[in-house]
Amino acid sequence: MTVEELEAKVKALENEVQRLKDIDEIKYLQRAYGYYLENWMAEDLIDLFVDSPDAALKVAAGQFFGKENIRHFFHHTDKDIVIEKSDNPEFRHQVMQLNGVVDVAPDGKTAQGRWYGFGANAFPNEGGISPNWMGGTYEVDYVKDNGKWKLKVVHWCMAFNAPYGGSWVPESRRNDKKTDTPYQPDSPLMKFGQPPAENALYPSGYICPFHFKNPVSGRETKV
């Protein structure tokens, strides 16, 4: 093996090690997002996003572009929005980040990831507490900013959001009311964002587009 070939092999190994380190850092970032979401830790969630006009949060409540509009969503600053944590211990918004597939671009500056999200929520309302199940898919764009991986676009395709019948919430506090307020087209949140990009709710049959190709055949994953 020539010196040039050896140097090329060392360089390839260094690149592979860096790619694996990047994937680990991105997985850590996404899991942190899930834990912060559980208790609606707004500022911690906002800190995970890159400070750029290209930052975006796309959820069933709407699309929010730029960090300031994302901040409005996580703080639910409009008084007409009912889902907000405050200091209520009965609030719960657990959405687990599962089965992550992460692909880092060749230049190591951007990446994409796909995750299942599944959670059990409890939203206090005027008549008690509404416990819900929620499930869907995350497609996420990441960017390396000053050496740190950050969220650029979080796209949450919610497949279902249903009341839980017979739950961990005491019967005296149960109020099985589906929490639709932030998901209506005329929601007050729309003054900070735009309508959702799609209707992914069951039984629409909608499949959130894949960022990755079939890992065996290399074909585009078509939906």
Fold of 3-191: Nuclear Transport Factor 2; Chain: A, (3.10.450)
Supply the pLDDT for residue 222.
73
Supply the pLDDT for residue 188.
79
Supply the pLDDT for residue 31.
95
Instruction: Please say if the pLDDT value at position 168 is more than 80.
Output: no
Instruction: Please say if the pLDDT value at position 82 is more than 50.
Output: no
Q: Give percent above pLDDT 70 in the chain.
A: 91
Residue type, 154: V
Instruction: Please say if the pLDDT value at position 33 is more than 80.
Output: yes
Least confident of 33-42, 51-60, 159-168, 171-180: 171-180
Supply the pLDDT for residue 198.
86
pLDDT tens by residue, 177-222? 766 566 666 777 788 888 888 888 777 888 888 898 877 778 887 7
Supply the pLDDT for residue 80.
54
Supply the pLDDT for residue 182.
61
Q: List the domain boundaries for the chain.
A: 3-191
Least confident of 26-35, 54-63, 71-80, 158-167: 71-80
pTM of the model: 0.83
Least confident of 27-31, 141-145, 208-212: 208-212
Supply the pLDDT for residue 85.
56
